[in-house]
Amino acid sequence: MSALPGSPEGTAVTGLDSSPVDASPETLAEVPPLPEQARVEAREIMARYPVARSALLPMLHLVQSYQGYVTPDGVTLCSEELGLTKAEVGAVATFYTMYKRRPTGRHLVSVCTNTLCAVLGGQRIMDALSADLGVHHDETTADGSITLEHAECLAACDYAPVVTVDYEFYDQQDVGSARELVAALRRGEKPLPSRGAPLTDFRGISRQLAGFEQHADPAAAVDAAGAYGPTLEGLRLAAERGESAPPMPATTRQEPPDRGEPRETVRPTGDTGETPGREAADARVAAADTPAEEAGAAGSHPDAPEPSGRSLADQDDGTSTPAGQEPGTESQAPGTGRVIDGGHAPKRKG
């Protein structure tokens, strides 16, 4: 199904040989083209952010809502609209597990196999569903109904073992209940999650994650009531045993001094006759607000002298504590070996 690692299609799309999205002709033939409306909605998403490229994550969800995964067309749309390279878009799309690199089934079933869920049966659930469906992690059934994946902690350990369908929670599952759940999904049913929003499907939840209304009937979008028993179990046990947490130690919080509005960044003008690098370094020194910032900026200035008393033969990087000396004492202090205020101190402007 997927483009071979290193294939022209995959590499051209993502820029990452080892992480191509599926650009095989047979797959693309099955995927509906992105409608013009997708571009309109992408621009709507971009308008929500002061910096347009911040819209990339919801835009990738939008692509998935139309095409079921991050397609080459979707990568192109995002790169064109945001002024990014395809490699940059691909790098993001291949970093997060919520962005799929090959076509996803109608429902995405995620089984938590992380520590707590695993010891309470998560791995058994994963193995049973995998055997029933004839697919492994990140694979889709032949009828396109289910993509199965194992997931790392789904942040619901108190309800372990947890299964999610299209990111909605089905708590405290076992092999039998998970099998029933998946069978119902394959029959086209949408069992109510244990809590939270009603179930939609992978494309529907992708649309919601892109920030668009998905439920045509608002009355249908009623959250399932949560059962908070497991979450409150620790509290109940503590009350039963008469236990309570020790009071927090009083802290005296030091508020940072109010510096008011940040100073305008001093930028090199290019009319000082210095190299741009030197002028920029001067500007950083001039813009420093505190002695520490000034020392840092001066220390990285091209005119700052090389640390004295150091040579390649002297490999002491200052991080070891000499025998008989406490860390943090004067000769161990940061910058001891770096003279920044010598005869070539950088210029300070203004």
Residues in touch with ligand FES (CB under 6 A): 112, 114-117, 153-154, 156-157, 160, 162
List Cβ neighbours of 325 (8 Å cut-off, separation of 6 or more).
Answer: 331, 332
**Element containing residue 242 per DSSP (H, E):** none
List Cβ neighbours of 302 (8 Å cut-off, separation of 6 or more).
Answer: 277, 278, 281
Smaller CB separation from ligand FES, 66 or 159: 159
Q: How many CB atoms lie within 10 A of CB 91?
A: 15
Smaller CB separation from ligand FES, 120 or 209: 120
311-to-193, 317, 319 alpha-carbon distances in Å: 66, 11, 16
Closest separation between CB of residue 20 and ligand FES, Å?
A: 30
Residue 37 and residue 112 in contact, taking contact as beta carbons nearer than 8 Å: no
Distance (Å, whole) CA 131 – CA 175: 12
Smaller CB separation from ligand FES, 77 or 112: 112
Smaller CB separation from ligand FES, 145 or 172: 172
Residue 57 and residue 89 in contact, taking contact as beta carbons nearer than 8 Å: no
List Cβ neighbours of 50 (8 Å cut-off, separation of 6 or more).
Answer: none
Closest separation between CB of residue 191 and ligand FES, Å?
A: 19
Closest separation between CB of residue 224 and ligand FES, Å?
A: 18
Smaller CB separation from ligand FES, 133 or 162: 162
Residue 174 and residue 121 in contact, taking contact as beta carbons nearer than 8 Å: yes
Closest separation between CB of residue 138 and ligand FES, Å?
A: 18
The owner of tokens 């089934």 is 105
Closest separation between CB of residue 117 and ligand FES, Å?
A: 3
- The two three-digit tokens of residue 254, written as one number: 């030091």
Closest separation between CB of residue 185 and ligand FES, Å?
A: 20
Sign for the pseudo-dihedral over CA of 286, 291, 296, 298: positive
Smaller CB separation from ligand FES, 46 or 125: 125
Residue 62 CB-half CA count within 13 A: 27
Smaller CB separation from ligand FES, 74 or 121: 121
Closest separation between CB of residue 146 and ligand FES, Å?
A: 20
